Amino acid sequence: MGYHPGQKCPFSGHYRCANCRLEIELVRGDNFPPCKCGEGEWILIRPERKTFR
What are the tens digits of pLDDT across the range 1-53? 799 999 999 999 999 999 999 999 999 999 999 999 987 899 999 998 765 55
**Is residue 36 included in any domain, yes or no?**
yes
**Is residue 8 included in any domain, yes or no?**
no
For residues 53 and 19, what is the distance between their CA atoms, to the nearest angstrom?
A: 39
pLDDT at res. 53: 55
**Is residue 2 included in any domain, yes or no?**
no
Domain tally, the chain: 1
pLDDT at res. 1: 75
Q: Note the pTM of the prediction, 2 decimals.
A: 0.85
**Is residue 4 included in any domain, yes or no?**
no
For residues 21 and 40, what is the distance between their CA atoms, to the nearest angstrom?
A: 9
For residues 12 and 30, what is the distance between their CA atoms, to the nearest angstrom?
A: 9
pLDDT at res. 19: 94
pLDDT at res. 50: 66
Range of the domain at 40: 13-46
